[in-house]
Structure 1
Amino acid sequence: MKKTSLITGLILAFLLMLSGCKSAAVQNIDNSGYISGSKVTTKKVERAIQKGAMRKGWSTKRIKTGLLEAKNNVRGKHLVVVDIAYDTKGYKISYKDSRNMNYDPSSNTIHGNYNKWIANLERNINYELSQIGVMGNTNASRTVTNIAPKSSSTSNKNYKKADSSAISGKTIYIKNITPYSADNRIAANIKAECTINEQLASFIKKFAQEQGLKVEYKNKPTSNDLYLDVKIVDAISQGGAFRGHAKFTSIEGRLVKGNKSYGSFQAARVSGGGFWGAYKSSCAVLGRTVEALGKDVATWLYSPIDNAKLGDTGYIR
């Protein structure tokens, strides 16, 4: 009983971790007119930016005259990388890269702390600029821009919405190994040690056929084929045997034929391993998540709709 309570607690904590980290739109800061009217050299501006960055633990690298790359490795766990373009009139701070910040390129959102750290970086740069005589141009416009979202990997084509009733009884093709999305955040050890990409395709085919649907493998579908374009977006492996498993996998997909779309979905599943979970490997428990996802997708294929949310999508990070 105690072990069951412990495992349940670990899973709940894991779910809270996924849902509790608030995201915000990634912001770029444009202070391109901040220095206007002050007599300073490019070299002095560069040095002031470097010193301002160092005040809050940022390291800088000179890419070329007028461009610095700044990195902040917070507590050795969270990495943020920005570009800082500058001249004798001002500077701009632009997002470049991050690690463990829940960055989602499809919506260009990130952990809320990112924008706070960038605002602190800006304040410290402005302080160091004041030390070389720059008082700040109050007439200059300071612009904070939310980066426009990028298209999802399954919706980066302009599809025409089509009636799903027109495909009743048709053969649906899928790849025998489900690809990972281009912007996936899956740890290398999961990809190397587990076979969730093979399992997912197998489960989708199995459960769809059990519902009377015709699903076959085809790794090079043509524009004349009814094709389920599905990708693995995320997979997380927390905990382990005897400590309690907390595994998570998310996918996205679209049913298409040529330029016609018959529906799309996002899906996610969480698992603690089920009965005897403490004796199962991490890959085995991740396998349970993709098995559940296979059932979800098969059910959706029976009557596909657009923008469906399947399974535990509330925990997509």
Structure 2
Amino acid sequence: MKQLFALLFCATLLVGCTSKPVLNPSEQVPANVHADQATMQKAIVDALTSRGWTVQQVTPTDIRAAITVRNRHRAQIAINYSPLDYQIQYVNSSGLDYKDGKIHRNYNRWVANLSNTIRQNLTTATNAQ
């Protein structure tokens, strides 16, 4: 009986470890990067595309995108941007166990990787100018 309780306890811990607070990065463009609105938009769209996100809508200050992984996990985000900064906001998801501001850790990894790629694209675009 003790082994059963220990096994259930360990299983509960493992399930709980996959859920993390939703990551909503808000990033300032580094001072040495001089981007205009068009450069910022291109850096974001290129990052989304290279990371497997589907761009759904683009306006001069907002981009909506979604990702589907293994036809089971789907997430939608909104990215608000200006030449000085950008914010990635969670919109909704399915298959990622979103509840009470927490979500499967893979979502946070996808968003963190996306944010890193946006920053890399901005640096590359500025160096090319």
2:20 to 1, 19, 24: 24
TM-score normalized by structure 1? 0.34
Structure-to-structure mapping, 1:66-215, within 5 angstroms? 66-104=61-99, 107-133=100-126
- Deviation of the 1:39 alpha carbon: 2.9
Rounded to whole Å, the distance in 2 between the matches of 1:61 and 1:91 is 18
**Which among 44, 50, 58 is matched to residue 55 of structure 1?**
50
Work out the CA distance in 1 between the residues paired with 2:43 and 2:15: 39
Which residue of structure 2 lines up, in the alignment, with residue 222 of structure 1?
none
List structure 1 segments (4+ residues) > 6 angstroms apart after TM superposition.
Answer: none
1:216-263: per-residue Cα shift (whole Å, max 9, x none)? xxxxxxxxxxxxxxxxxxxxxxxxxxxxxxxxxxxxxxxxxxxxxxxx
Separation in structure 2 between the aligned mates of residue 42 and residue 115 of structure 1, nearest angstrom = 26
Closer, same or farther: CA 20–89 of 1 in aligned 2, 3 Å: closer
Answer yes or no: is the 8 Å Cα contact 1:26–1:95 preserved in 2. yes
Instruction: Return the offset for 1:64.
Output: 2.1
SS in 2 for 1:131: helix
Q: Classify the secondary structure of the residue corresponding to 1:101.
A: coil
Q: Which has the higher helix share?
A: 2
**Do structure 1's residue 39 and structure 2's residue 37 form an aligned pair?**
no
Aligned equivalents of 1:38, 1:24: Cα separation in 2:
32
> Which of the two has higher C-alpha Rg?
1
With over 3 angstroms needed to count, the CA separation of the structure-2 counterparts of 1:113 and 1:101, relative to structure 1, is same
What is the alpha-carbon root mean square deviation over aligned residues? 2.3
% same residue: 28
Question: How far apart, in 2, do the equivalents of 1:123 and 1:92 lie?
Answer: 13
**One-letter amino acid of the structure 2 residue matched with residue 34 of structure 1:** V
Describe the superposition over 1:198-233 as per-residue Cα deviations: whole angstroms up to 9, x where unpaired: xxxxxxxxxxxxxxxxxxxxxxxxxxxxxxxxxxxx
Unaligned runs of 5+ in 2: 1-7
Distance 1:20 1:66, change over 3 A: same
Contact 1:36–1:88 under 8 Å retained in 2: no
Mapped to 1, the partners of 2:102 and 2:34 lie a distance apart of 38
